[in-house]
Structure formats: C-alpha cells, structure tokens
Amino acid sequence: MHTACIECDCIISTMDIAEGEKLSCPQCGASIRSRHKNALEKVMAAALAGTIFYIPANVLPLMTLDIIGQTTSNTVLSGITHLMDQRYWWMAFLVFLCTMLVPFIQIILCSHIVFCYKTNRPHKYIPALLKFEHHIKEWGMLEVYLLGVLVSFIKLIGMGGISFDIGFYCFIGLMVSTIVMTTSLDHWAIWRWWENNHYRAVNHHD
C-alpha cells in the first residue's frame, strides 16, 4: 500500500514501476506516476537548454511585419511592456506570469532539485521547492503563447509582409525544453529520496 489516487481516492498498492513505464489509477485511469527513461539526465539537459534559450526567446524578435515600407517587430517582452504602456496592467501581468515568470522559476527549481538529488544533498527546503514547482506548473503556458503567435501570424498575412524571426526559433527551443523538463521530473522518486535521507539525518542527531 503506497498511496491513494488524487482524483478518486483509490488505494494504489504499488508505485514501483520500471523506467519508461507509466502507472495509471485502476479505478479512474488518472496518471499516477510516469518514469521516463534517463529522467534525471533529461531534466538536467532540458534545464540547461532552457537556460540557454530563455533570454534570446524573450528579447529577440519573434516576427517582423512590413507594411508599406514601415517595419515593426515584436518580442515576448515588448508584448508585455506595450500592454503596460496602454495601462492594461492586469493583462500585462497575466502574459508576464504565464510566459516569462513561471518558466523562469521552473527552470531554476527543476535544475536545483535534480542537482541536490544527484549529489545527494537532502536540504531542509527541498519540500518547499517541490511543492512550489507542482503548484505553478499549470500557469506556464508557452505552448499556448506559441499558438497565439501562429494565430497572429495568419491574421496579419493580409496586412503586409510578415515573417518569423530568430526569436521565434529560440522560443520553440525554450518551450520544448520546459515541457521535457517538467514532464520528466519524477516527483515520487524525489519525495521518497528526500524522506529517507531526511529521516536518517534526523535520527543521526538523536
């Protein structure tokens, strides 16, 4: 008896699965745990790639629009500052949160968590990091933003010459990195590792 399904409260008798396997709830089918092959390496590689792509993806131009000789281009960052200039603070905040802040925090958290796990340092603050990572996950919306860029692209085709720029490809890199990073992170394994080592450290003190 290991845990209960978060969606239907059904007892899950074992969480032990092989690498590359997925475990679903026998009653409701909710995904309980998935272990990717070489999950640790994947998280680390994706976090590194995400770090490299993060700044270019946000400050390099995504698209360039050319209307009668006048050209403009946009970046993720300028999309936010423009909304702020127009005093749409709430919208600016939402775009900032979902496309810049959450992916940034996720990269920091995931890379730090797997670093501590790999080097076996069960710091006291690891639970706080894991909880935070779990809660903000659904607010990272890079793939939705990408669809927004594509929709805008098609909308503007009629207005003038429009083309993708270097920032667009960096953005795709950042998006793929964060998706690989967050889906490969095996929360169950890290919680149990922390638990065992934390208790051992506490017992050692007594």
Partner 1 sequence: MTKPASNGHVTAKSLGLSACHNCKKLHKLSEHTGHATPCCMTCGTELHFRKPDSLARTWALLITSMILMIPANIFPVMTVVSLGKESSDTIMSGVILLAKMGMIPIALVVFIASVFVPVIKLLALTLLLLTAQNHWDLSLRQSTILYRMVHFIGRWSMLDLFVISVLVTLVDLGNIATITGGAGATAFGGVIVMTMLAANTFDSRLIWDKKNAGK
For the record, the structure tokens of 170 come out as 């960096």
Smallest Cα–Cα separation from 116: which of 183, 193, 169?
193
Would you say 97 and 80 are in contact if contact means Cβ atoms under 8 Å apart?
no
Q: Residue 181 is which amino acid? A: M
Instruction: Figure out which of the listed residues 34, 51, 152, 183 binds partner 1, where binding follows CB under 8 A.
Output: 152
From the list partner 1, Zn ion, none, partner contacted by residue 105 (C-beta under 5 to 8 A by kind) = none
- Of residues 20-39, those binding partner 1 (CB under 8 A): 26-30
Contacts of residue 33, Cβ cutoff 8 Å, sequence gap at least 6 = 15, 17, 22, 23, 186, 188
Q: Does 197 bind partner 1 (CB under 8 A)?
A: no
d(CA 175, CA 142): 6
* Shortest spacing between CB 27 and Zn ion, in angstroms: 5
Contacts of residue 100, Cβ cutoff 8 Å, sequence gap at least 6 = 58, 76, 77, 80
From the list Zn ion, partner 1, none, partner contacted by residue 121 (C-beta under 5 to 8 A by kind) = none
Q: Residue 60 is which amino acid? A: L
The one segment of 15-23, 24-32, 76-84, 131-139 that binds Zn ion by CB under 5 A:
24-32
Contacting positions for partner 1 (CB under 8 A):
1-11, 13, 26-30, 62-63, 65, 67-68, 70, 72-75, 78-80, 82-83, 86, 88, 90-91, 94-95, 98-99, 127, 130-131, 134, 138, 141, 144-145, 147-149, 151-152, 154-156, 158-159, 187-188, 191, 194-195, 198
